[in-house]
Structure 1
């Protein structure tokens, strides 16, 4: 089936010959596909690797994974709210060297992203400092505030907290023990987990000191984003 319809190009369209003009487009439908959902039965459960191979086991597994994801999303929202509150109260003179170092890290990250996207000579791309200055200042400011809270209130990540967090991350994988070894086998990965645990400790500490207002959030809103 074919259909022709008019489409107006914007005035600032990059193709000057058609900018501001209307053209007729012919579209031909070659194929229409629809999802063919499988029947929910024990065979499906077995194919998905459910341990007991039953629909009940499949439902229990889905429920566990959803509960885990809801927990992570709620923690992330609360943590973000705490960090925003800390930033709002923080009035600090930021060390220029720290800000510049953070700008440089952000620029290197941007170059790496461009390179991954196939941009030629991405590692030589000239990126003005000002593009990342506000973000760098925010990161440095928050880092200083968090570091002081950790120091003053003994909020460092404890070994048992690291283990518990990694176990929770690994629980959704087919072979959790391999994931646990993967985290503990690399100092950089372990440092990333440590940073997350420290942020959680800070958030829990601040929430314990603050006047908190509970807000009901729908499942769709929670799963739709962190904001």
Structure 2
């Protein structure tokens, strides 16, 4: 069998396959015999239809189509084996099937074209000594104070207020309704859908609602009704209301203040369900956790910008079959996250929405797959090995989480890949020149650049 290979984009190999004349004849004869045994024709017993009658009744093109379905599949498998091609998934026929039916003649050589996905090709150009910026998160004792203050607020006792006006920090129970303000500065008659509530509990704190809304309650007393106008932000989620002026009519029905509990051992025990008996022990644990969170944030930032550098300096040609598998993995992960949040995934991942969701997930899937392939290739080149004890520990953890119904061989391969990528990232970090900047610096620059681009 004559086979001509051609390298195609998207990690494919094109094949031009010439099937010998004797093979095309044998395939034809075998198909006719099979049809004669299986086809039911009026006036003939099953399996007793004469060859010429069969061809006449079914038509030569239908016969040839049946021949080619098996001939192409068998010839492609033979060509892949002959050329030692590591094919992934199914092949794609590049020749028109109708044209092939017309061109096919039993007993003559037959040529067709197809393409197969092959493992990704990774091109490593530069990955040592990379230079980039990353954000460094630092532990701030003020974060601990803020956390404890928030816990105090959560466990605070709400005390009715009757002898003063509302002020920031209070809790207001109110009715309200909103109406658009027209260009003439007049309030329209209709209430805007979604801007009406009764006995609504509102924390009088900055950032709790659109700018100006909370401020409108300050100075009000219980049973008082008041009107004030606010302007919705230009980037408000409801596009119809974005940038619009809305007049709110509010009635303050109740006003309450928070009586904060004391920061003592009793508070620590109550706030942590008796996990910590003393405030000092809880504070020590919280401080350690916040410091660890800062380290994790710094590490995530380093890896994010390191991966960006790798993607800019190296490349991977991705087979479509692998991209589709990664898209499925991305969507599966999203489904699991939604389920943990209590969201009904059946309302999101509908049959009609799946194609759109897959297309939306494609960029992330391609980037994840490309990153993984580049890192795996670097690990091979640099002979980076994983720690055996860490592997065994991670394997036992995974088994305990899965409990049953898993393929241990596949699980081991997945963990090995995970730890290899992790070790490679650590190795690359050691090889890189990193300039650390305060947390939020780079994200602010990116947001500003995005705004300018828009």
Match of 2:201 in 1: none
Match of 2:320 in 1: 96
Match of 2:380 in 1: 151
Cα deviation for residue 213 of structure 1 reads: 3.1
Cα deviation for residue 61 of structure 1 reads: 1.5
Q: Which moved more, 1:65-74 or 1:110-119?
A: 110-119
Match of 1:44 in 2: 267
Cα deviation for residue 207 of structure 1 reads: 1.7
Question: 1:102 aligns to what SS in structure 2?
Answer: helix
- Paired residues in the alignment total 200
Q: State which structure, 1 or 2, has the greater radius of gyration over its C-alpha atoms.
A: 2
1:72 aligned onto 2:288: no
**Structure 2 CA distance for aligned equivalents of residues 20 and 78 of structure 1:** 38
Unpaired runs of 5+ residues, structure 2, are 1-223, 447-454
Cα deviation for residue 96 of structure 1 reads: 1.7
Instruction: Specify which structure has the bigger relative contact order, considering alpha-carbon pairs within 8 angstroms and separated by 6 or more residues.
Output: 2
Asked whether the equivalents of residues 2 and 26 of structure 1 are also in contact (C-alpha less than 8 Å), the reply is yes
Normalized per residue, which structure has more helix?
1
Aligned pairs (5 A) from 1:15-164: 24-47=247-270, 48=272, 49=274, 51=276, 53-107=277-331, 113=338, 116-117=343-344, 120=347, 122-126=349-353, 127-128=355-356, 129-161=358-390
**Structure 1 CA distance for aligned equivalents of residues 345 and 227 of structure 2:** 35
Match of 2:400 in 1: 185
Cα pair distance change 1:109/1:197, threshold 3 Å: closer
Q: Which moved more, 1:41-50 or 1:138-147?
A: 41-50
Cα deviation for residue 141 of structure 1 reads: 1.0
**Structure 1 CA distance for aligned equivalents of residues 262 and 298 of structure 2:** 33
**Structure 1 CA distance for aligned equivalents of residues 310 and 256 of structure 2:** 50
**Structure 2 CA distance for aligned equivalents of residues 40 and 2 of structure 1:** 38
**Structure 2 CA distance for aligned equivalents of residues 201 and 101 of structure 1:** 24
Unpaired runs of 5+ residues, structure 1, are 167-180
C-alpha offsets along residues 1-47 of structure 1, whole Å, 9 cap, x if unaligned?
Answer: 3322346799x739xxxx99866432233444555432111222333
C-alpha offsets along residues 101-129 of structure 1, whole Å, 9 cap, x if unaligned?
Answer: 22344455567749934664733133335
Normalized per residue, which structure has more strand?
2
